[in-house]
Chains A and B, each alone.
Chain A
Amino acid sequence: MIEIHNLTKTFGSFRAVDGLNLRVEAGEIFGFLGPNGAGKTTTVKILSGIMRPTSGRVLVAGHDVALEPLAAKRAMAYIPDEPFVYPKLTGWEFLRFIGDLYSVPQAEQRKRIPELLETFELSAQAGELLESYSHGMKQKLLIASVLLRRPKAVLFDEPTVGLDPKSIRRFKGLLADIAREGAAVFMCTHILDMAEKLCHTVGIIDRGRLVARGTVAEVKKLSVVAGRSLEDVFLELTE
């Protein structure tokens, strides 16, 4: 569902992503781990189509993001690490905006938007301008917008930043639901505990290169010492 072939991205002489190859299948939750500046956000930005690769190919739902950007974008949903939204729209209007932009039928929007607002406990604030929303509320609204459009691939960059514990728990459940419905989930995260419990597979990127890939159990085996946690392995591989 998500395919990355020999992806390279350079900024001047700096290689942010260096010959990356990856594949995330439908229904799979993939955790993309790495230290700060390793190339996670750059990769996810290229996948979402907001950044161009220097070389290599990226396919989402069978569509090359560079050659068929609109078809690829129609099939995916991307949530960045900073939930920037239009401050002068209300929560309700924002979901309508996303629904209209992604061609969600209006009847379906009318039915699902109140449900989603209810799920994320945003119904009371749905008529207020987004400039009054907290970071966490905006993040919840963006996650609700992902569920509204039922994408085939979902790209999350640090999705739980700003969420309260209750919302994080709900988010984990929703993530599993999204994958069960057949979407490929590509998630950049620093929370190794969440990646260990939630992701079917993980990949560790360091200085632009993929240094490990596999199920959590497979990655753990890469450690020189047996029985170590994912955190230990992560630190070992990225030091």
Chain B
Amino acid sequence: MFNVLAARKLHTFTNTLKALRGWKLAKNLMFAGVGLLMLAALYGGFWRLLNYLEGVQLIGPMLSWKLTSMVLLMTFSMVIVSSIIISMTTLYYSFDLKFLFSCPLDLRSIFMDKALETVFYSSWTLVLAILPFILALGRIKALGAGFYLAYGLLMVPLVMLAGAFGILFSMTVMYLFPSSKTRDITWLLGSVSVAFVYVMFRFSKPEKLLRPDSLEIVAQYIQYLQSPTAPYMPSWWVTKAMVAYSAGHWGAFAGSALVLCLAAAAVYSFIYFLAGPLYMRGFSGAQSSPRFKGGRENLPEQRLAVKWPSWRAPLTLYWKDRLMLTRDARYWSQIILIAALIAVYLFSIRQLPLDTPDLKSLVSFLNVAVAGFVVAAIGLRFTFPSISLEGNSYWLLKSAPVSTASVMREKLMVSLVPSVAIGLVLIAVSNHLLNADLFISVLSAFTITVASVVISVMGIGLGATFPDFNVENIHQLESSYGGFLYMATAMGYLSLLVAVEAWPVQMHFAERFGRAHAWDMRAVALCAAVFILLNFVALYVPWKIGLRSLERHEI
């Protein structure tokens, strides 16, 4: 029966490919081309890094293998966490599960089908992301095509093992606590773990590892490099196999590869066996909804609507979104990750090795672009998907006496204050940490306020341009063509913004350095005019295109 299920996936895939024609094909090719460019850029970066490490006398080769083992360990851990989060949906809440359970299919076949789906979804982006690293490693160490083939073969059992651990965790938890509440708690714990690992990793100052001089005893450092990174983890077995391959020790390579494959076979046999007694109970329990009581009281927005009847529609949409956001565990986990991102961001700013006040002020100015990028990245998770996340219920708004512009304005209202607040906090705290001067502090605070507003409007506008009301989760929207275009547009806008302000900032520094008549007011006026024009275009164009597209969108 499993082959029938696998064939349906193959048909879905081939049909999707066949359906790619005309603009759809061009769009996907463009998307893939940009993706390849990004991978090429990553490859360039990794090549430089590994080339430098390899060139370090005596310990160079050890350093690059140590880094490889750390990269593999991180990938392995991330696949486990992703698989915990994703398996909660694929194993228990996929849209086709009810249909599959009603078919004469045995439980284990359904389970294995969904388990492999989980492994695929939780690993493909990570596998793709480390590919440039492996390519660079192979080139630096002058290893042939066989090395890449061996790596590809080793990665299969590695990600299968990582995925299996996540699946095992979800299945056990759902067996013990068979309720949809468990999914929410697991998502939350998953996000807390990712955030914790991320923050701890950064706070441990990993850059020190690349600076042997920062360690007191060199022997300790070499010992550290030679020691296995998590010896009982499959990622270490992969590293050992790769080291053995590069040295031509075929016996050691085969040994490590065999251990890895046997471990994967054993773990899958175990979860296959376990699925019989555990999976059904968890699936059955997942169908029940948690008890929830409430919602009869008058909301503040409803009281406001009595006072301001003309604001009734946006206020109504606002309270609806507010209640839904606060009740959806997916958003809480996103907020935890954002908090971690902000903490790491500010920590990194504090760690910057800047000596002079002038340099600090200059970095404070350039920091506007980085803070704007963070605001855009957060917008990619909250602002950009907000229209599409109306989902199948969008018909309610489309058939209601509410204009599309009004719906978009309300979505903007929800995103605007948090975006501006995050932008301002990042800039204000960074400026404080860097002791930026008054001019730069005021300019950067003003710029980030404007940029946050523009990026939010851009998010709503482009979200309306590329609505997808059939998605199951935010990640599908983030990685969509529209999501990519939103990020690219936001980054382009931020670059131009910094470029426009660079001239007046240059005059400010000239004044600081004591140059007479540093300020050219005509240049300042020109920059101000370009600034206004740039922001007007960045506000107006995406909004108008989005409005037109959403008005024409048929469901």
Contacts and interface: CB of A to CB of B under 8 A. Distances in A.
Nearest to B292: A129
Given A93-B295, A128-B291, A106 B302 contact: yes
B294 A100 contact: no
A119 interface: no
Contacts of B399: 48-50, 73, 76, 78
A88 B552 contact: no
Give the interface SS of chain A, mostly helix, strand, loop or mixed. Answer: mixed
B293 A70 contact: no
A120 interface: no
Contacts of A70: 401-403
B554 A52 contact: yes
Interface in A25-71: 45, 48-52, 69-71
A127 B292 contact: yes
Nearest 10 CB-CB pairings of A with B: A132-B289, A90-B295, A84-B392, A100-B316, A74-B401, A50-B398, A73-B401, A88-B324, A88-B327, A93-B295
Interface residues of A, number: 37
B4 interface: no
Interface stretch (B249-257, B305-313, B418-426): B305-313
Given A80-B395, A127-B294, A86 B324 contact: yes
Contacts of A100: 302, 305, 312-313, 315-316
A130 to B, nearest CB: 9
Interface string A148-183: 000000000000000000000000000000000000
B328 interface: yes
Q: Name the residue among B298, B327, B396 with the largest chain A CB count within 10 angstroms.
A: B396
24 contacts: A48-B399, A50-B395, A50-B398, A70-B402, A82-B392, A85-B396, A88-B323, A88-B327, A89-B320, A90-B292, A93-B320, A96-B302, A98-B396, A101-B316, A101-B401, A102-B400, A106-B298, A126-B296, A127-B292, A128-B293, A129-B327, A131-B289, A132-B288, A132-B290
Interface of A: 45, 48-52, 69-71, 73-74, 76, 78, 80, 82, 84-86, 88-90, 92-93, 96-98, 100-103, 106, 126-129, 131-132
A80 B306 CA distance: 31
A78 B399 CA distance: 7
Interface in B316-353: 316-317, 320, 323-324, 327-328
A49 B398 contact: yes
A85 B295 contact: no
Given A51-B554, A97-B320, A128-B291, 11 more contacts: A45-B554, A50-B555, A71-B401, A78-B399, A84-B392, A86-B393, A90-B294, A90-B295, A126-B296, A127-B296, A129-B327
Nearest to B315: A100
Nearest to B317: A101
Contacts of A97: 316, 320
Interface residues of B, number: 37
A25 B493 CA distance: 55
A84 B324 contact: no
A88 B391 CA distance: 12
Contacts of A80: 395
Interface string B161-174: 00000000000000
A87 B328 CA distance: 10
Contacts of B292: 90, 127-129, 132
Contacts of A92: 295-296
Contacts of B391: 84
Nearest to A71: B401
Contact of B295 (A73, A76, A106, A127): A127
